C-alpha cells in the first residue's frame, strides 16, 4: 500500500439506535428526514445518516463536530465496535462489517489501535505491562512484548517510566501510555476518539505535536476525533465536519477556512480566525521563575529564549519581571539582577481571550498569567500570541497565494 491510496472507506453508512433500526426510522432517514423529526416520529436516534468518506494511507483525517453529532459512532463502525444499520466500511479491501468472531478480532488487532479520551490503566501492573497487555492476550512471549512495549514507550517519551506504576504518572503521562498501548502492536491505523480532549491545554499541544511527529516518522494513518475546530485545523491533513449524523464538509484546513460549504461551517470558521476564541491558557507556557538574588549572568542564562520571566513572592505571586531586553541593557552597564527588574508588567487570566491581551502584548513584554488567588500559573510571551493569531491568517494567505498567483 503506497501513500495516498485509500485505506478506509465509509460508503453510505447509516446507524440508527432503537428497537427497530432497519424499520420505518431508516426509511424516513433515507428519504431525507432530519434527526429531530425522525426521533419525534419513531423514537429512534439517528447516529449516522448517509456518511461517506475516504481516508488515505498516511494521513491524519479528523472528524470534527459538536457533541452528539455522530463522531464516536462513526469511528466505532470502522472497527465494528458498532454494527451499521446500512452501508459498508471497507479497510484494505475488507468489508469490515461482514467480519465476525476470530477474523474480526485479528483484524482489529492487526489493523487498528484505539485511543480513548478516558484511558484506564491496570493499577497494579507496571507501565510496561500495561502497554504490552494487548500483546499478552495475543499469546506473544514476554520478551517479545517487552521489546515492543519499550519501543512504543520510547515513541511517546516515556522510556524511563517502564517500571513505574500508573499512580506515579500524571494524567498527561497516563494518556501517553494509552497512545503507547495503541502503538505497541504496530498497527497501520490509529483510531483516536477525543484522545487529548481531557488534557490541560499545555500538555494537549505537546501531545498534538508529538503525535504529528510520530505520524510523520511512522507513516501511520490516523482517524482522529475532536469537538475542537482549533485542534482539527492544527493537526488534520483533512477535516470532516459532522452535524446531526451527517457529513457537512470534507476538506483540507485551507478549504474549510476559505470555502466553508455551508453557513454552519462558516459560523465555526468565523470563530476560529478571530483572536476571540483562542484563550490565553492555550498558548501560555509554564512559568520558570527567576530569583532576584541570582547573578544577572545566571538569570539571563535561565531565561533562555524566553522574552522574560517573573520573580515570585513567598505566596507564589509575581512581584517583578525580568525582561530579556532589560537584562541585556543592564548587563551592559555592569548592573545587578535587581537593577533590571520592573514592576509595571501586565497581568491576565488563563481564560482571557487573545484579543483581550492583544494591547498589552504590543509592549513586547511577557504577561503574567495568574489564577484566582493571584498565583503565577503561566508566562505568556507576546511572540506566541502573534504566532498563534498569525497561524490561521497565514493558512489563508498561503492558500490564496497558491490559488490566485
Ligand X SMILES: Nc1ncnc2c1ncn2[C@@H]1O[C@H](COP(=O)(O)OP(=O)(O)O)[C@@H](O)[C@H]1O
Give contact residues for ligand X (rule: CB under 6 A). Answer: 17, 45, 47, 65, 67-73
Q: Smaller CB distance to ligand X: residue 21 or 132?
A: 21
246 touches which of ligand X, Mg ion, none (CB within 5 to 8 A by kind)? none
Is-contact 226 232, C-beta < 8 A? Answer: yes
Q: Smaller CB distance to ligand X: residue 25 or 354?
A: 25
29 touches which of Mg ion, ligand X, none (CB within 5 to 8 A by kind)? none
Q: At what angle do helices 201-218 and 171-184 cross, to 10 degrees?
A: 20
149 touches which of Mg ion, ligand X, none (CB within 5 to 8 A by kind)? none
What is the smallest separation between the CB atom of 212 and ligand X, expressed in angstroms?
Answer: 23
Query: How does DSSP classify residue 354?
Result: H
Torsion angle of the four alpha carbons 316, 318, 323, 326, in this order, in degrees rounded to the nearest 10: -120
CA–CA distance, 231 with 259 (Å, rounded to integer): 19
What is the smallest separation between the CB atom of 71 and Mg ion, expressed in angstroms?
Answer: 5
List binders of Mg ion among 40-79 (CB under 5 A): 72
What is the smallest separation between the CB atom of 146 and ligand X, expressed in angstroms?
Answer: 35
- Give one DSSP letter per residue of 167-209, joined into a string: GGS-HHHHHHHHHHHHHHT--SEEEEESTTTTS-HHHHHHHHH
Contacts with Mg ion by CB under 5 A: the residue count is 1
What is the smallest separation between the CB atom of 282 and ligand X, expressed in angstroms?
Answer: 22
- Minimal CB distance residue for Mg ion: 72
Q: Smaller CB distance to ligand X: residue 73 or 246?
A: 73
Q: Smaller CB distance to ligand X: residue 17 or 264?
A: 17
CB count, 10 Å around CB of 217? Answer: 9
Q: Smaller CB distance to ligand X: residue 47 or 382?
A: 47
Residue 15's closest CA among 101, 76, 61, 104? 76
Is-contact 222 211, C-beta < 8 A? Answer: yes
- Give one DSSP letter per residue of 118-169, joined into a string: SPPPPTTS-HHHHHTHHHHHTT--HHHHHHHHHHHHHHTT-GGGTTS-GGGS
What is the smallest separation between the CB atom of 67 and ligand X, expressed in angstroms?
Answer: 4
**Apex CA 323: angle with CA 318 and CA 324, to 5°?**
145
Cβ contacts of 402 within 8 Å, gap of 6 or more: none
Is-contact 84 128, C-beta < 8 A? Answer: no
What is the smallest separation between the CB atom of 16 and ligand X, expressed in angstroms?
Answer: 9
Q: Smaller CB distance to ligand X: residue 235 or 367?
A: 235
249 touches which of ligand X, Mg ion, none (CB within 5 to 8 A by kind)? none
What is the smallest separation between the CB atom of 50 and ligand X, expressed in angstroms?
Answer: 14
Q: Smaller CB distance to ligand X: residue 39 or 375?
A: 39
Q: Enumerate binding residues for Mg ion (CB under 5 A).
A: 72
Amino acid at each position: 500500500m503506497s501513500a495516498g491510496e485509500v485505506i478506509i472507506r465509509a460508503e453510505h453508512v447509516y446507524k440508527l439506535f432503537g428497537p427497530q433500526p432497519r424499520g420505518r426510522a431508516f426509511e424516513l432517514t433515507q428519504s431525507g428526514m432530519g434527526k429531530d423529526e425522525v426521533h419525534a416520529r419513531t423514537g429512534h436516534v439517528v447516529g449516522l445518516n448517509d456518511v461517506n468518506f475516504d481516508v488515505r494511507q498516511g494521513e491524519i483525517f479528523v472528524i470534527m463536530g459538536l457533541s452528539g453529532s455522530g463522531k464516536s459512532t462513526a469511528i466505532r463502525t470502522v472497527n465494528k465496535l458498532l454494527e451499521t444499520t446500512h452501508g459498508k466500511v471497507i479497510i484494505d479491501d475488507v468489508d469490515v462489517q461482514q467480519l465476525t468472531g476470530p477474523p474480526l478480532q485479528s483484524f482489529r488487532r492487526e489493523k487498528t489501535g484505539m485511543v480513548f479520551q478516558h484511558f484506564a490503566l491496570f493499577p497494579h501492573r507496571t507501565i510496561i505491562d500495561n502497554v504490552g497487555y494487548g500483546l499478552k492476550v495475543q499469546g506473544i512471549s514476554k520478551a517479545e512484548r517487552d521489546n515492543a512495549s519499550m519501543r512504543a514507550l520510547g515513541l511517546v517519551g516515556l522510556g524511563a517510566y517502564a517500571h513505574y506504576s500508573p499512580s506515579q504518572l500524571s494524567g498527561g503521562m497516563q494518556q501517553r501510555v494509552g497512545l503507547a498501548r495503541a502503538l505497541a502492536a504496530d498497527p497501520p491505523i490509529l483510531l483516536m476518539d477525543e484522545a487529548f480532549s481531557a488534557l490541560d491545554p499545555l500538555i494537549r499541544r505537546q501531545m498534538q505535536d508529538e503525535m504529528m511527529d510520530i505520524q510523520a516518522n511512522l507513516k501511520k494513518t490516523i482517524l482522529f476525533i475532536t469537538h475542537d475546530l482549533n485542534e482539527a485545523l492544527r493537526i488534520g491533513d483533512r477535516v470532516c465536519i459532522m452535524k446531526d449524523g451527517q457529513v457537512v464538509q470534507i476538506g483540507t484546513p485551507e478549504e474549510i477556512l476559505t470555502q466553508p460549504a455551508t453557513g454552519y461551517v462558516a459560523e465555526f470558521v468565523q470563530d476560529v480566525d478571530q483572536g476571540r476564541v483562542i484563550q490565553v491558557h492555550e498558548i501560555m507556557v509554564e512559568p520558570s521563575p527567576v530569583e532576584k538574588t541570582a547573578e544577572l549572568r545566571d538569570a539571563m542564562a535561565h531565561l533562555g529564549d524566553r522574552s522574560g520571566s517573573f520573580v515570585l513572592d513567598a505566596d507564589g505571586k509575581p512581584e517583578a519581571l525580568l525582561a530579556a531586553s532589560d537584562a541585556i541593557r543592564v548587563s551592559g552597564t555592569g548592573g545587578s539582577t535587581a537593577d533590571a527588574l520592573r514592576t509595571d508588567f501586565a497581568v491576565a487570566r488563563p481564560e482571557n481571550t487573545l484579543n483581550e491581551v492583544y494591547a498589552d502584548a504590543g509592549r513586547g513584554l511577557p504577561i503574567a498569567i495568574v489564577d484566582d488567588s493571584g498565583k503565577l500559573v503561566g508566562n505568556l510571551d507576546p511572540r506566541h500570541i502573534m504566532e498563534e493569531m498569525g497561524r490561521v491568517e497565514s493558512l489563508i494567505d498561503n492558500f490564496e497565494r497558491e490559488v490566485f498567483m
